[in-house]
Structure 1
Amino acid sequence: MKAARWHKARDIRIEDVPTPVPGPGQVKIKVKWTGICGSDLHEYVAGPIFVPVDKPHAVSHEVAPIVMGHEFSGEVAEVGEGVTKVKPGDRVVVEPILSCGKCSACQHGKYNLCEDLGFHGLSGGGGGFSAYTVVGERWTHKMPDGLSFEQGALVEPAAVALHAVRLSSLKAGGTAAVFGAGPIGLLVIEALRVAGATSIYVVELSEQRGAKAKELGATAVIDPSKENAAARIKELSGGGVDVAFEVTGVPAVLQQCIDATRYEGETVIVSIWEKEASFQPNTVVLKEKTLKGIIAYRDIFPAVMDLMVQGYFSAERLVTKRIALDDIVAEGFETLVKEKTQIKILVEAPA
């Protein structure tokens, strides 16, 4: 079958690979649509980050080159021995977690904090940028009848956003800032609306992404190239927001997030980083502020799909381009590198 495989930074190739066969407890999925994630883009530009290169991943037991793609939906094509959760023909999304199931975090149900955390489509084991892929039964989730396959491809990134807001200290009626209105940042705006934020201030350079942020519920959009974003947020919010979400991965932005929060405010770091970032600790210490990191999600996919049925996280609003797998480099990754006007690009799986 045809698949897009990561070999090294700036080197993703469309290649023929063996069609996977499900073993006991596994599900073979005919992929329909897969989103290009910010994490995929990081691997393309500056990887490896999650891609195993020096030694096989502890869970997938694979090493690069690996099939990419972890935001995807599809139809169950075949099930292995013992599978009872889904059957052929079911429409599903995949929670693309690779976890050991044995470490302390896994034993306490916090599998996204696994010591050997990886992702299907980033750390080996197959991926959504292919015709078929095989995953463990546990990681499949049936889609409600009202959701399209394209909508299903947004469940994974929406789960990141909802998890970030759930784990933050924001309470209904609180205020928030979102630094970065890329796909995850825009989804965080919607998750904040779900959580009852009364004011959401967005910091974004792209005029098009800023306009989309307003469409999705931002109270105000600030262009940091034209004014001091943190100072403007403090002015608009009367002293700073309750919670700021860092969704850019740009080192200089971390301090801006901290500065935009009030006393006892919280900064939630959502991004995956290519470089180190620094901040002045006194800006945290003297106002008893908090920094919190989040990674991926856990036990949240069903809630995301329920919200989608209600109209949140809409593909019609967020998907800006649809491409074929053969065009994934030129029309996908390179487009995202060059054009900050794009929001979410979906890749259609080969027949």
Structure 2
Amino acid sequence: MKALRLEQFNEMAVVELPDPDLPGPGEVRITVAVTGICGTDIHGFTGENGRRVPGQVMGHETAGVVDALGEGVAGLSVGDQVTFNPVLVPEVEAEEYAGREQRAPGRRVVGVAPEIVAAFAQYVTVPARNVVPLPADLPIELGALIEPLAVAVHAVRQAQVQAGDRVLVVGGGPIGQSVVLALQATGAGSVVVTEPTAGRRELVQELGVTALEPSGADADIARIHSALGGAADVAIDAVGISATLATALHATRLDGRVCLVGMGTPSLTLDAFLVSTGERQIVGSFAYSADDFRTAAAWIAADPDRARSLISRTIPLTAAPTAFTELAAHADVPGKVLVSLAVDPTEES
């Protein structure tokens, strides 16, 4: 099978790898159709986040069809359209961590764990309990958006967003865009996104919310409040650097809530008085539970046209090394880039 491998930091290559063995008991082998390039994949490509290693096949935002079933797998058939939850929990921890699978101490994540050949390959094998069926009439590329939307679903739940809340989203990249969809599905009130890139602001506005260009000045907060109709009840930081957290804290009301889902840098500085004297709450959000993931799948199936707007480009596997280099150099791509893993008949012949 063909796969996209991280040869060394800042260098990807399309390589030939052995096809995986038939799935074992309780496993499913999937023929991968498309896989999205995540921001964490780009950070892994550059070596910035320390969570990827050379020689690794990454990829965790994906969709495909069932290729083979292991012994004891029920409820799935060969040829079914599926995606999978990449958070793998050991069987011995599954019951204890049900509903909070992302916190299981023994968890592994497909696309992060270097020993797993992940979804930038033409086949991937995962436990059947992680497989989520997709409607047969859903365009398969939309299945690759479920994982980032699951991140957003969890962040909105962590932030305890209520119907009618005024919400600021800091950062209009793919996660911020997914947060907008999750907020709309939750029934949030006015939503404002701050984003420096014009193309991303335009995409966000097409989703039906206000997008503002940040200037880094104190006037930004007044503009945010004006667009929201008051101070934010909730702010969700989809960037995760000191400056964006400061914006989130300044823009929220007293006793407001800030959710940190972006991981732009491992260390942050903040104005502690904005937290203590304003009695603001800061909560972290990491990955998602199995329920968050299933919820995201259901939302995309219910409104596929809306989800489709998050896809900027679908490229063949052969173009993926160049795409990684361009994205790492901050190419102006508003939404998600998907990599097609489909076999090229001309290459096969």
* Superposed pair shares fold, TM > 0.5: yes
Tell me the percent identity. Answer: 33
> Matches of 1:200 and 1:123 in 2, distance apart?
36
Structure 1 residues 108 and 25: alpha-carbon distance in aligned structure 2, compared to 1, 3 A threshold: closer
Q: CA deviation at 1:37?
A: 0.8
Corresponding position of 1:198: 189
| 1:9–1:48 Cα contact (<8 Å) kept | no
Superposed, which structure 2 residues align to 1:1-351 within 5 Å? 1-21=1-21, 22-51=23-52, 53=53, 65-102=55-92, 106-124=96-114, 125-218=116-209, 220-225=210-215, 227=217, 228-237=219-228, 239-298=230-289, 299-311=291-303, 314-335=306-327, 337-351=329-343
SS at match of 2:339: strand
| 1:323–1:332 Cα contact (<8 Å) kept | no
Q: CA deviation at 1:100?
A: 3.5
Corresponding position of 2:346: none
Structure 1 residues 333 and 146: alpha-carbon distance in aligned structure 2, compared to 1, 3 A threshold: farther
> Matches of 1:104 and 1:150 in 2, distance apart?
29
SS at match of 1:75: strand
Q: TM-score, normalised by structure 1?
A: 0.90
| 1:72–1:94 Cα contact (<8 Å) kept | yes
Matched letter for residue 120 of structure 1: V
Q: Once structures 1 and 2 are overlaid, which stretch shifts more, 315-324 or 234-243?
A: 234-243
Q: TM-score, normalised by structure 2?
A: 0.90
> Matches of 1:104 and 1:91 in 2, distance apart?
25
> Matches of 1:233 and 1:312 in 2, distance apart?
30
Q: Once structures 1 and 2 are overlaid, which stretch shifts more, 106-115 or 318-327?
A: 106-115
Structure 1 residues 168 and 226: alpha-carbon distance in aligned structure 2, compared to 1, 3 A threshold: closer
SS at match of 1:314: helix
Q: CA deviation at 1:135?
A: 0.6
> Matches of 1:317 and 1:101 in 2, distance apart?
37
> 1:211-244, CA deviations, whole angstroms, 9 ceiling, x for partnerless residues?
11111121x2221137543332234445520110
Matched letter for residue 323 of structure 2: E
| 1:42–1:274 Cα contact (<8 Å) kept | no
| 2:14–2:321 Cα contact (<8 Å) kept | no
Structure 1 residues 193 and 109: alpha-carbon distance in aligned structure 2, compared to 1, 3 A threshold: closer
Q: CA deviation at 1:102?
A: 4.4
| 1:175–1:199 Cα contact (<8 Å) kept | yes
SS at match of 1:233: helix
> Matches of 1:251 and 1:313 in 2, distance apart?
35
What number of residue pairs does the alignment pair up? 339
Structure 1 residues 312 and 202: alpha-carbon distance in aligned structure 2, compared to 1, 3 A threshold: farther
* Structure 1: stretches of 5+ with no match in the other structure: 54-63
SS at match of 1:67: coil
